[in-house]
Structure 1
Amino acid sequence: MFTLGNLFVLMLLASGCAWLWHNHGLREKALERVKQHCAKLDLELLDGAVALKRIGFVRDANGRRRFARVYNFEFTVTGEQRHPGTVTQFGAHSMQIELAPYPFEIKTQPSAEVIEMDQWRQEHKRWRP
């Protein structure tokens, strides 16, 4: 038969397992959000993982202190350098993703036609005083 002490220990273990399972689900949500963010910015998420940095109280957008989980991850632009990033998660909602400064290219369409300056001036004479 179970004693009250045995029942307490069993409930404590069950609560711990449920908390770990819940945290794993929240980490997976944070990972999915980071993957979406990196894809949108044309970045590559390295190692395909986020790592729990800390659990504690963090200020939200309204300035209130709320219980949050902060995860670290690394990304790359060129494939040569690793850059750190963090995602702050309040419950199941990813609130903020911060990326370290990283180099990026401004993508422009190459011009198919090169115009000589003298030719342009002749075509636009009427605009000259």
Structure 2
Amino acid sequence: MFDLTTLFLLMCALGAGAWFWHAQGIRERALAAVVRHCRQEGVELLDDTVAFARFGLERDLRGRRRLGRRYRFEFTVTGERRHHGEVVMFGPRVGGIRLDAYAVETSPEAQQDLNKEAVREPGKVVMLDQWRRERS
């Protein structure tokens, strides 16, 4: 019925299937983390997906090297340009999310208000976060 070779091949196939299923679960967790992060940053995740980039040694928040998966994704601020981002996963835990630098678009009215304040008080540094809180 079953010899050792058949049993070994069956176990290898089951192991590969389990590893693939586990990897898909990690990818889904990475996608959920990226969706939350993009919502917090006020950017739009494009294609609603993350793509596996590599599996290898990655640095965690403490600077130690650990085995991790790196996924890449794209996002947009204005809908015109695509920007890249990466998420590192250490098993089911998020190791970090990095977004490429992007320009923050402001409305023409907000830009005029900012210019008026700069003319009124020359040399004053305007903190963008404080300015946004005052205007919202």
Same fold (TM over 0.5): yes
Moved more, 44-53 or 99-108: 99-108
Deviations 1:74-115 (A, max 9, x none): 00000000000000011101111000000114686x98xxxx
Which residue type is aligned with residue 59 of structure 1?
R
Distance in 2 between residues matched to 1:5 and 1:47, nearest whole Å: 44
Match of residue 52 from structure 2: 52
Q: Percent same amino acid among aligned pairs?
A: 48
Which residue type is aligned with residue 88 of structure 1?
V
Match of residue 70 from structure 2: 70
**Unmatched tracts of structure 2, length 5 or more:** 114-119, 121-136
Instruction: Specify which structure has the higher proportion of helix.
Output: 2
TM-score, with structure 2 as normaliser? 0.77
Match of residue 24 from structure 2: 24
Match of residue 10 from structure 2: 10
- The CA deviation at 1:35 is 0.2
TM-score, with structure 1 as normaliser? 0.81
Distance in 2 between residues matched to 1:95 and 1:59, nearest whole Å: 8
Indicate if the aligned counterparts of 2:57 and 2:67 stay in contact, CA closer than 8 A: yes
**Unmatched tracts of structure 1, length 5 or more:** 112-116, 118-129
Runs of 4 or more, structure 1, over 4 Å off, are none
Distance in 2 between residues matched to 1:16 and 1:62, nearest whole Å: 32
Paired residues, number:
111
- The CA deviation at 1:63 is 1.6
Give SS of 2:56's match. strand
Q: Which has the larger radius of gyration?
A: 1
The alignment yields a C-alpha RMSD, in angstroms, of: 1.8
